[in-house]
């Protein structure tokens, strides 16, 4: 008998100690996760000055010397999480090698999917295992603020001066309620792609575009296609006549009570979108797959999509592919939705200053140029010259783009508006369905708080 008991006990003890070690900072809390947006979220904005020369050196050089003077002590190494795509990892390997050379601080890169980083930070941050820098799209700022994952940046004057050279919209996109949280790295938005065989010249105005569309559309070929029931892409057409998502005060702080998606302007825009379906210019049930399929088969003259489509389109159309900014309406270029991605400093880091320095280094013109070359993403720094027949027009479009609102309430907007656009495509009354959609958004916002 005696051994039987003690055997069980020692087993129990052994198991307990093993699990204790293993269960250390473990926890299931994060099973839920993000995904508050339709798949297309990535987007970016930014005004881009293609003009400026590559002479980042002065600003940068000065900055560094000034910084070294009264800077806190250098850490031996900094850690950062890089989105786990080979091109991006390679690019940052190269860029951080330069940082190591310049400052003598080792940079450790961990591949980590961008979409899972907040979840990881929420647990690793407080337990002290987080990196110094992590990478996030700007529209997660609200969530990150509420969870308190990112450090509120206290920029030195010198750092502020350097940040002033970035695209202003992109910088504010990384602030939440007036607190600057991040350094923007890349911008992304969509533009007008066309098949030059069908549409040789880029349309100047929306009227031109519609005229071409009517001319070309004959039942099997379409003149102009876009995911019109996807709010991300239909944004320009709702905002051009005066619609808006959330009201903003002078400092860019959003008011989630003030929803402008059933305003007169938005309804007017929605009526236009509805008319495309009514006239048969656009087929019902149009989605990204259908649009891409028709365009690559040469059965669509113009489509609206983002830079991610370039490789496939180029493979299918070759020389016939051309990209331009969105046309104008009432004399102004349509403003697309943009998404920014940037670097945030871990709230729990001990090296806030140097982490910020690293973030600024990663996004300076030289690094941005390397990054664009290797990973193909458009920089948020305005002093980079983009020389690419497809990317340049998209970079131009970022000048007219507006960042998606970065408040958490935005996650409640996508679906009701997409549904409303679907009803409008089916011929229902725009005012009525938009009123319903906005009411739904309000209800949902109340529930989530």
Report the interface residues with another protein, using CB under 8 A.
Answer: 1-13, 15-17, 19-20, 22-23, 25-29, 31-36, 122-123, 125-127, 143, 146-149, 283-286, 289-290, 293, 347, 408, 411-412, 415-416, 418-419, 422-423, 426, 428, 433, 436, 440, 443-444, 447-449
Cβ closest to another protein, residue 54 vs residue 127: 127
How many helices and strands, by DSSP H and E, does the chain display?
A: 17, 17
Cβ closest to another protein, residue 26 vs residue 53: 26
Cβ closest to another protein, residue 191 vs residue 437: 437
For the CB of residue 179, give the shortest distance to another protein in the complex, in Å: 13
Cβ closest to another protein, residue 48 vs residue 286: 286
For the CB of residue 41, give the shortest distance to another protein in the complex, in Å: 12
Distance CA 328, CA 413 (A): 26
Q: Could you give the C-alpha distances from 120 to 21, 36, 217, in angstroms and in order?
A: 20, 17, 49
For the CB of residue 317, give the shortest distance to another protein in the complex, in Å: 19
- What lies within 8 Å, CB to CB, of 169 at 6+ separation is 45, 46, 47, 338, 401, 402, 403
For the CB of residue 419, give the shortest distance to another protein in the complex, in Å: 3
DSSP secondary structure letters along 295-359: HHTT-EEEEEE-GGGHHHHHHHHGGGEEEEPPPEETTEEPPPEEEEEEEEEBTT-S-HHHHHHHH
Q: Please name the residue that has the structure tokens 């569309």.
A: 213
For the CB of residue 44, give the shortest distance to another protein in the complex, in Å: 22
Cβ closest to another protein, residue 96 vs residue 349: 349
Cβ closest to another protein, residue 204 vs residue 255: 255
Note whether 307 and 112 are within 8 A (CB): no
Adjacent-strand bridge partners of 342: 136, 184
Distance CA 389, CA 407 (A): 34
**Which of 364, 360, 342, 383 lies closest to 188, judged by CA?**
342
Adjacent-strand bridge partners of 81: 110
Cβ closest to another protein, residue 122 vs residue 368: 122
Distance CA 164, CA 383 (A): 11
Cβ closest to another protein, residue 347 vs residue 371: 347
198 secondary structure, DSSP code? T
For the CB of residue 129, give the shortest distance to another protein in the complex, in Å: 12
Distance CA 244, CA 226 (A): 20
For the CB of residue 196, give the shortest distance to another protein in the complex, in Å: 24
For the CB of residue 86, give the shortest distance to another protein in the complex, in Å: 25
Note whether 433 and 424 are within 8 A (CB): yes
Cβ closest to another protein, residue 238 vs residue 386: 238
139 secondary structure, DSSP code? G
Cβ closest to another protein, residue 236 vs residue 416: 416
3-state secondary structure of 164: coil
DSSP secondary structure letters along 40-61: T---------S-S-S--HHHHH
For the CB of residue 297, give the shortest distance to another protein in the complex, in Å: 11
For the CB of residue 192, give the shortest distance to another protein in the complex, in Å: 22
């Amino acid at each position: 008998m005696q051994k039987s008991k003690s055997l069980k006990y020692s087993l129990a003890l052994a198991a307990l100690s093993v699990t204790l070690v293993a269960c250390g900072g473990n926890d299931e809390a994060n099973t839920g996760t993000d995904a508050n947006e339709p798949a297309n979220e990535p987007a970016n904005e930014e005004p881009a000055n293609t003009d400026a020369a590559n002479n980042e050196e002065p600003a940068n050089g000065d900055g560094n010397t000034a910084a070294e003077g009264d800077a806190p002590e250098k850490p031996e190494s900094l850690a950062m999480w890089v989105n786990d795509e080979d091109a991006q990892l390679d690019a940052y390997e190269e860029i951080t090698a330069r940082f190591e050379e310049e400052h003598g601080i080792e940079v450790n890169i961990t591949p980590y999917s961008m979409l899972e980083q907040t979840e990881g930070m929420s647990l690793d941050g407080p337990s002290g295992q987080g990196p110094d820098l992590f990478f996030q799209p700007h529209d997660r700022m609200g969530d990150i603020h509420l969870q308190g994952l990112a450090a509120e940046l206290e920029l030195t004057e010198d750092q502020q001066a350097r940040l002033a050279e970035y695209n202003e919209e992109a910088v504010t996109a990384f602030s939440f309620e007036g607190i600057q949280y991040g350094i923007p790295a890349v911008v992304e938005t969509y533009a007008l792609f066309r098949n030059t065989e069908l549409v040789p010249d880029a349309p100047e105005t929306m009227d031109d575009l519609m005229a071409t569309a009517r001319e070309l559309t004959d039942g099997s070929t379409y003149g102009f296609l876009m995911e019109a029931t996807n709010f991300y892409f239909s944004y320009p057409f709702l905002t051009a006549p005066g619609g808006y998502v959330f009201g903003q005060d002078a400092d860019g702080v959003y008011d989630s009570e003030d929803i402008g998606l059933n305003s007169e302007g938005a309804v007017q825009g929605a009526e236009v979108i509805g008319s495309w379906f009514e006239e048969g210019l656009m087929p019902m049930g149009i989605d990204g797959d259908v649009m891409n399929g028709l365009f690559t088969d040469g059965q669509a003259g113009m489509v609206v999509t983002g830079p991610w489509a370039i490789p496939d389109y180029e493979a299918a159309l070759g020389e016939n592919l051309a990209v331009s900014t969105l046309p104008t309406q009432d004399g102004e270029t349509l403003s697309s939705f943009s998404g920014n991605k940037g670097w945030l400093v871990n709230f729990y880091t001990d090296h806030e200053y140097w982490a910020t320095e690293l973030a600024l280094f990663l996004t300076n013109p030289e690094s941005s140029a390397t990054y664009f070359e290797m990973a193909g993403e458009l920089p948020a720094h305005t002093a980079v010259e983009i020389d690419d027949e497809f990317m340049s027009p998209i970079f131009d479009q970022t000048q007219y783009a507006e960042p998606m609102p970065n408040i958490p309430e935005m996650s409640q907007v996508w679906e009701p508006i997409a549904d409303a656009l679907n009803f409008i495509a089916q011929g229902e009354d725009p005012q009525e369905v938009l009123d319903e959609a906005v009411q739904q958004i309000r209800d949902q916002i109340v529930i989530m708080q």
